[in-house]
Structure 1
């Protein structure tokens, strides 16, 4: 039996998508006196010279640099309270439902959920002022030793494995104990891809952009309008004009009336209208008229 597919999912990358600064650079490195240039040089050397996966390289370097500080996941979470975001956040998360969903949509059960899928540190996002708005946050994680000190990578999310989490959202299998590879008919998936929008910032999001496009979802590439080098814009432009990965690009400005906000609101409104129409047609098809005389 098919289930109501009335949820709209807005899925976001984090670094350079919701925030203009990399989370490590903003709150972690200053706290522990880590030089960003030397840190990333060490990471890149592991990747180039020893063929490490990029995400594992940076998690390894993070543990090396923090080894003497006895850092816990709770400490990382506390640091996350100092993260900053692009204009319009977190206000947009409170405003977009009322901006897009009318009484008929809500009566039909249409709702919006927000998710983060990032290669950044989950603990930092969990401590941020954004965390309460998200149904689920997926990111890299550290395990702790018997003293509560982070001591090994618990979970690494790469640019390609991020796509797994799109399918978790699609199937409603949000917990790690649930096997995302289990077969599930399309009419039993609570959030079909056509009810999803993925927002990312560049080439690292290409696998997710590709999954969205292939499965009928929507994707937006955002760029930092304050980037004077224009490299942020150029990445997005190429993804749209040359690589045909995304249909929409916009400055990362989430305020009311901004280009990005208008795109998001239109996509959500169109999806809500389509869901409502489907529910009405479904109801009508199952209604049997009483006999007339």
Structure 2
């Protein structure tokens, strides 16, 4: 028996997508006096000279730099309260719901959920001022020793493994105790890909863009309009005009009336209307008129 597929999911990358800054540059490096140039030089040496995985190199370097400070995940979560965002991010969550979901949609229990899938630190995102807007946040995680200090990489999320989390959302298997590889028929998946929108900023999001495109979902690549080098724009332009990975690119401005906000609202509205039409047809198709006298 099919389930009601009446949920819409907006899924965001974080760094350079919701925020103009990389989260570690934003709150971790200044707090602990870490020199970004030295940090990334050390990371790149592990990747290039010793063939480390990029995310593992990043996590190990953070551990090395933070070891003397005996940092806990709770401390990182506290720092997350100072994360910064592109214009309009804090206001967009309720704003998109209000603009797109009508009384008719609410009557059919059509709802909108938000998710983050990031290669950044989950602990920082858990402390962000927008945390409560998200149904689930996925990111890299540190494990702690018996004293409560971070000591090892517990989980890393690379640009290729990000796609696993799209399938978790698609199947409703949000908890790590649930195996995302379990077979689930399409009609039993609570959020079909055509009910999803993925927003990312560049080449690291290509696997997610590809999954969305192949499965009937929606995707938008965003760029920083304040980047004087235009590198951020060129990444998105290449994805759209040259690589055919996304149909839409937009400046990362989430304020009401912006190009990006109009795209998001149009996509969500169309998805909501399609769900409503399908639900209405199902109800009408299952209704048998009473005999008339």
TM-score by length of 2: 0.99
CA distance in 1, matches of 2:94, 2:59: 33
The residue number in structure 2 matching 1:12 is 12
The residue number in structure 2 matching 1:158 is 158
Q: CA deviation at 1:89?
A: 1.4
SS of 2:89's partner is: coil
CA-to-partner distance for each residue in 1:2-60, whole Å, 9 max, x for gaps?
00000000000000000000000010001100000110111011010111000000000
The residue number in structure 1 matching 2:270 is 270
Q: CA deviation at 1:104?
A: 0.1
CA-to-partner distance for each residue in 1:54-84, whole Å, 9 max, x for gaps?
0000000000001100000000000001100
Give matches, 1:159-238, under 5 Å: 159-238=159-238
CA distance in 1, matches of 2:54, 2:227: 24
Consecutive unaligned residues of structure 1, counting only runs of 5 or more, are none
Give matches, 1:75-154, under 5 Å: 75-154=75-154
The residue number in structure 2 matching 1:252 is 252
Q: CA deviation at 1:122?
A: 0.3
CA distance in 1, matches of 2:66, 2:275: 49
The residue number in structure 1 matching 2:281 is 281
Number of equivalent positions: 293
Consecutive unaligned residues of structure 2, counting only runs of 5 or more, are none
What's the Cα RMSD here? 0.5
SS of 1:181's partner is: coil
After superposing on structure 2, the runs of 4+ consecutive aligned residues of structure 1 that deviate more than 3 Å are: none
CA-to-partner distance for each residue in 1:141-163, whole Å, 9 max, x for gaps?
00000000000000000000000
Structure 1 stretch 87-96 or stretch 249-258: which is displaced more? 87-96
SS of 1:90's partner is: helix
CA-to-partner distance for each residue in 1:120-158, whole Å, 9 max, x for gaps?
000001001010100000000000000000000000000
CA distance in 2, matches of 1:230, 1:98: 33
The residue number in structure 1 matching 2:28 is 28
CA distance in 2, matches of 1:198, 1:173: 18
